[in-house]
Chain A
């Protein structure tokens, strides 16, 4: 049953949301179009939504002329994301499983131990000193993985509450009676039942790893060969800034240089950084939405 006023509202609503979606998505078009524009055209006419002069130069430069750097950083991004997600889930799940265990001595204290990480944080400086001076993490691959494994207890507690509410204790107890050990209980009963939440957490952790640029910026000083695509993008951006700031001082040569790291190539690299996210987005969107809804209620 639909009233006439409802139909009008529905139409206006669709028009409004379409316009909004257009304005939300159009910045990505600027990125994409610029990456397919000829360099001279970009320098003369600037970034635009339609390539004035179509060119594959930026991508040729990235993958053929200078393939080694970009492909290595791209593989590094994939590697860091894969290793990070697997390790993170392997650590998060058993901890959440344990915290959900009924009758576990010290359960409250341990939950607080995990929870406290969400409300108090030593901050960047002590963490940095700890990782570089105590663990020697600086300039290693693990600097890209370890600081982001479980940034705080949020996902652990999210998963723990899933275990407590969605997995009936009777099932676990029955299996225990049949002589299943704790590890088997977790692997064969709890985890299969908790697949949805594990998938959700894995997606959030994965996106976080793919998008991370801070760890590489902070911990990789000499080993720029370990740079992920985000680190590379960040480094280029930093260089532009340095050049812009010297340009402010009036050195005209620097202005020319600021353009030199090739405008189209920068945009093509940014496109490569977004691409995997856009490709997996349709598949992960449902879980992503679920994660937001679950997380929104609690922190």
Chain B
């Protein structure tokens, strides 16, 4: 009785007042978060135009003279634009292929293991993911430091190999960075694939075993097809992000060494150095905008594909 009365009360109220008035408290609760996004993510957007200006700190962004596409012309006239684009794309592509393969492999093994150690293994491979890039840089330095690193002072003399000056030989860095990234990132992928594997009905495997399928056949004909949707989804998401590099990895691990830039400079480190170390704000902004726009297009494209495959998993 009471409920129906109050419902009628609400109806009459909603007839006299617009609907949103009732929701004012909700809007108030949301206000700090929305204001934050406005400040942190929307207010800087007009500042993007600094890429089309010759920036002068005294005049500010909007007082600086307009130069059209000059910054972009300068940027793409240099070798740098090509190098940072190539590096960003190739490293991310390598990371996707290698980390996905490793993660699936480890997830399958972990999923089959019985016993208490499983949890320990899982925790171990996840640990490097929780460490800051600076400290990753220190650890790698401990191995590679030219005159006190473990490789040059202990391992190589033992194996009879000549010391290597790691931080001035760019050719070695694609391997180093791929290994460091796998060490750091494989745990996350493993956890995600493991979560999918845990959900697979064991009876598939039981009937396959009755039919005499060995482990490899089970993997090829049961596990892999069932993992396929997750693999495709994660890969597409990663492809959508392929224009954005892991700044910490590429800045800290090669120790910002100029001699290595040909193989370690990516768009994110280029933008950062332009802004913080060289003070070339316009050029840095041009590279940043190039990344934002191409990155945005890639995210949208990847999403369009995901949407075609599985509507539920799409971001938009």
Contact = CB atoms under 8 A, between A and B. Distances in A.
B88 to A, nearest CB: 14
B79 interface: no
Interface stretch (B91-99, B134-142, B169-177, B220-228): B134-142
B45 A122 contact: yes
Given A122-B41, A125-B271, A21 B125 contact: yes
Interface string B28-70: 0110111011011101111110110000000011000000000
Interface stretch (A63-71, A163-171, A231-239): A231-239
B154 interface: yes
B81 to A, nearest CB: 16
Interface in A93-133: 94-95, 97-99, 101, 103-106, 110, 113-130, 133
Contacts of B164: none
Contact of B142 (A30, A90, A103): A30
Given A98-B30, A123-B289, A277-B131, A237 B36 contact: no
5 contacts: A28-B127, A30-B150, A95-B32, A211-B131, A277-B130
Interface stretch (A54-62, A78-86, A149-157, A194-202): A149-157
A14 interface: yes
A10 B128 contact: no
Contacts of B252: 234, 237
A27 interface: yes
A46 B145 contact: yes
B300 A289 contact: no
Interface of B is mostly: helix
- Top 10 closest A-B pairs, CB basis? A46-B153, A95-B33, A126-B47, A211-B132, A123-B288, A182-B25, A296-B192, A98-B30, A126-B44, A94-B29
Interface string A47-58: 111000000000
B292 interface: yes
A119 to B, nearest CB: 5
B148 A46 contact: yes
B122 A183 contact: no
B37 A114 contact: yes
B142 A31 contact: yes
A153 B315 CA distance: 12
B114 A95 contact: no
Given A186-B29, A270-B135, A10 B40 contact: no
B33 A237 contact: no
A46 B29 contact: no
A260 interface: no
Contacts of B275: 124-125, 128, 218
A270 to B, nearest CB: 4
A245 B23 CA distance: 61
A45 B130 CA distance: 30
B6 A177 contact: yes
Nearest to A182: B25
Given A42-B148, A288-B130, A292-B188, A241 B255 contact: yes
Interface in A213-268: 213-214, 217-218, 230, 233-234, 237-238, 240-241, 244-245, 248, 255, 259, 263, 266-267
A109 to B, nearest CB: 11
Contacts of A118: 315
B127 A24 contact: yes
Contacts of A207: 130
A263 B138 CA distance: 11
A186 B32 CA distance: 15
A27 B136 CA distance: 9
B25 A181 contact: yes
Contacts of B145: 46-47
Given A214-B248, A241-B255, A270-B134, 15 more contacts: A17-B109, A17-B110, A45-B153, A47-B153, A98-B26, A121-B292, A122-B48, A146-B40, A233-B134, A266-B138, A274-B135, A285-B123, A293-B195, A299-B237, A299-B315
B23 A105 contact: yes
B313 A297 contact: yes
Contacts of A17: 106, 109-110, 113, 117, 121
B127 A281 contact: yes
A146 B37 CA distance: 11
